[in-house]
Chains A and B, each alone.
Chain A
Amino acid sequence: MIEVEHVSKSFAAKVDGKRARVTAVEDVSFVASDGRITALLGPNGAGKTTTLRIIGTLVRADRGQARVGGVDVQTDTHGVRAQLGVLSDARGLYLRLTARENIEYYAQLRRVPAQAARRRLAMMAELLDMGALLERRVEGFSTGERLKVALSRALIHDPPHLILDEPTNGLDVVSTRALRRLLQHQRNAGKCIVISSHIMQEVEQLADEIVIVARGRTVAHGSAQSIRDESGTASLEDAFVKLAYGTEPVTL
């Protein structure tokens, strides 16, 4: 279970050449349960990535708390990281290494026994249909192929919690389906999965729970159905526009 309570974060930045503080996250709260896929849905710049980085311990929240499997992200970063598999916004691979070497590097860093790592990699290669890629150097891989490697790398230690930041960015239909298959498989295995996205259809198809984030705040939380009912709109898209932008949907 991942719990986020009233986190906020601002950064020092230059705005029009002047030093200023830019608020990335104002007040975000949600709970993502085990065996569910929870989607953070929000427009670009809503604070989704920063929220995920706070959960992932790479960014410290100014205020608020976050726990992963009951472990506080501020006090025990290694304890949190051990339970997390993260596919971040940056998903760079080592181009001169083969796909297998890329993945095994992380397995070794996380002290996954070699035998277990091999078994797990074989399983994921099967699910993601990437068996033919494993012994090739990553240089020259397509976006979809790279995503598969990055995803396998993030999950090689069989973490109970998964965080995926905009996982379908730049993917073709076939790769998106492979990803969806893997996430559903993981969900059914009881994992707690949090993804972020700004694509409505994707969220509707994949997520059990939806958290709408806008201007750094949580504005709605529930299933697609309950969010539609709550906002009194016919589609999730209309609900999203109403909740995220605070305007009534324009009916054409």
Chain B
Amino acid sequence: MSTVAVVFRKELKDALRDRRTWLIVLVTSILVGPLTLILLSKFISGLEEDAAKREVYVANASAAPTLVNFLQRAGATVKDAPGDYEAQIKSGRLQNAVIVVPANFEARLEAGETIRLQVMFDETATRAQPATRATLATVRGLTRELGLQRLLTRGVSPQVMAPLDIEEVNLASSQARGAQLLFLIPWLALLGSVAGAISVAIDVTAGERERGSLEPLLMNPISTAALVLGKWSVVALCSATVVLLTLIGFKAAMQFIRSENLSALMQFGLDEFALFVVMLLPFSAMIASLNMLAATYGRSHKEAQTYATYLAMLVNFAPIVPLFISIRDAAWQLFVPAMAQQSVMMRALRGETVSAVDILLPGAIALAITALALAGQAVLLRNERIIFSR
């Protein structure tokens, strides 16, 4: 049996007897995937229900029969706003927008004056955004209708008021709209690869030194490269297992939930599943090697954990950056690990085409980094300052 195989077998046995390994595997596979999908599907269906219901809250509705009549004609259900609506919106208890009607609405309308109509809402209440947008649009519709009526009574053609006829054509397919939220799925799979690697990576490196077994181990006539390779195989295997279980969890939950909303919004069939696996396996290999390199360099278990946390934060953060600076799939993203995997997987979820370069380039970069990190580690383990923790 080769040295790599001997080290692999021993480290695997050791990891499988570690309760922490099982805890992470169970938590990620059982909780993360299915739980996220259930929450997501609830969120999305709630979103669509809210928009479909078109409930419009009006404060002091009795003062404005014209408005109420218009809203009802537009297909909305008019509801009386609660007395403390302002406080309720601020605290988030009331998600919908509230139209505030001034006391003398009808009289001023009669007199042909301009009436200030407040629409109160909380822009950060994302769930209610479609409903709020609909309310605002309805109110604008009313003001246009009233304006036209006034022009007509003065004998002016309504065209004077409409130099531009704006037609909104929303090109985002319904899949694309839902996929904005679905960034969670590839993102959680990426995090799964980190979660699966961390504790094993630290145990086989910094842990080995801390329990005093590194020095005797290196006294054996074996190459540090073989040693590193054997250990890495186990860490990468753990990371890949967690990734696979996370993906299987997603797939199983999709089957189980059978939400029309969800399946209309994202494509996660066997093709996408396979693509995710192909994208994530080289990433797991890279994460395993980087975690080990950091933990080998770290003086102690604690220092190793600190480095691992930085690395995890980078993986957390990189995929979200494009969301913030709202760039869409720029070519350079393919060169940035984590960001590349995320953007390609997102494209697949959105039902867009994924080319061979999209798969091969991020994979090749991840594997190149893996090779460098492993080589670096083999060199570190020949350094007496690293062996005896300086």
Indicate whether A and B interact: yes
Residues on A lying within 8 angstroms of B by beta carbon are 53, 56-60, 77-79, 81-82, 84, 86-97, 101, 105-106, 108-110, 150, 153-154
B6 CB contact (under 8 Å) in A89, A93, A105, A150: A105
Which B1-21 residues have a C-beta within 8 angstroms of A? 1, 3, 6-7, 10, 13-14, 17-18
| A58 and B219 form a contact (CB under 8 A) | yes
Chain B residues within 8 Å of A153, by CB:
216
A94 CB contact (under 8 Å) in B6, B14, B215, B219: B14
Please measure, in the bound complex, the distance between the C-alpha atom of A37 and the C-alpha atom of B184, giving whole angstroms.
Answer: 66
Query: What are 26 residue pairs bridging A and B, where the CB atoms are less than 8 Å apart in the complex?
Result: A57-B219, A59-B384, A59-B388, A60-B384, A78-B222, A79-B221, A81-B220, A81-B221, A84-B219, A86-B219, A88-B219, A90-B215, A91-B216, A92-B212, A92-B214, A93-B211, A94-B10, A94-B211, A95-B211, A96-B14, A97-B10, A109-B3, A109-B7, A150-B216, A153-B216, A154-B219
| A90 and B10 form a contact (CB under 8 A) | no
Least distance between A201 CB and chain B CB atoms (Å): 27
The verdict on A88 contacting B221 (CB below 8 Å), with A58-B387, A108-B6, A109-B6 known, is no
Chain B residues within 8 Å of A82, by CB:
221
Please measure, in the bound complex, the distance between the C-alpha atom of A110 and the C-alpha atom of B219, giving whole angstroms.
Answer: 10
A90 CB contact (under 8 Å) in B212, B220, B221: B212
The verdict on A154 contacting B216 (CB below 8 Å), with A82-B221, A109-B3 known, is yes
Which B250-296 residues have a C-beta within 8 angstroms of A? none
Least distance between A164 CB and chain B CB atoms (Å): 12
B219 CB contact (under 8 Å) in A81, A93, A105: A81
Chain B residues within 8 Å of A57, by CB:
219
Chain A residues within 8 Å of B1, by CB:
108
Q: Which residue of A lies closest to B215 (CB)?
A: A90
Chain A residues within 8 Å of B368, by CB:
none
| B220 and A92 form a contact (CB under 8 A) | no
Chain B residues within 8 Å of A96, by CB:
14, 17-18
Least distance between B316 CB and chain A CB atoms (Å): 30
Q: Which residue of A lies closest to B220 (CB)?
A: A109
Least distance between B296 CB and chain A CB atoms (Å): 16
Please measure, in the bound complex, the distance between the C-alpha atom of A97 and the C-alpha atom of B9, giving whole angstroms.
Answer: 12
| A56 and B219 form a contact (CB under 8 A) | yes
Chain A residues within 8 Å of B217, by CB:
109
Q: Which of B13, B208, B221 has the most CB of A within 10 A?
A: B221
| A94 and B220 form a contact (CB under 8 A) | no
Least distance between A22 CB and chain B CB atoms (Å): 12
| A94 and B384 form a contact (CB under 8 A) | no
B13 CB contact (under 8 Å) in A60, A79, A88, A97: A97
| A105 and B10 form a contact (CB under 8 A) | yes
Q: Is B218 part of the contact surface with A, judged by Cβ < 8 Å?
A: yes
| B215 and A88 form a contact (CB under 8 A) | yes
Chain B residues within 8 Å of A88, by CB:
215-216, 219
Q: Is B213 part of the contact surface with A, judged by Cβ < 8 Å?
A: yes
A58 CB contact (under 8 Å) in B3, B18, B215: B215
Q: Which residue of A lies closest to B213 (CB)?
A: A92
Least distance between A37 CB and chain B CB atoms (Å): 20
Known: A95-B211, A154-B216. 6 other contacts (CB 8 A): A58-B215, A58-B219, A77-B221, A89-B215, A94-B211, A105-B10
Chain B residues within 8 Å of A93, by CB:
211, 213
Q: Which residue of B lies closest to A9 (CB)?
A: B384
| A109 and B222 form a contact (CB under 8 A) | yes
Least distance between B230 CB and chain A CB atoms (Å): 10
Chain B residues within 8 Å of A110, by CB:
220-221
Q: Which residue of B lies closest to A13 (CB)?
A: B390
B216 CB contact (under 8 Å) in A77, A92, A101, A108: A92
| B219 and A90 form a contact (CB under 8 A) | no
| B213 and A94 form a contact (CB under 8 A) | yes
Least distance between A99 CB and chain B CB atoms (Å): 14
Q: Which residue of A lies closest to B17 (CB)?
A: A96
Please measure, in the bound complex, the distance between the C-alpha atom of A87 and the C-alpha atom of B6, giving whole angstroms.
Answer: 21
Chain A residues within 8 Å of B222, by CB:
78, 109
Chain B residues within 8 Å of A90, by CB:
212-216
Chain A residues within 8 Å of B208, by CB:
92
Q: Which residue of B lies closest to A89 (CB)?
A: B215
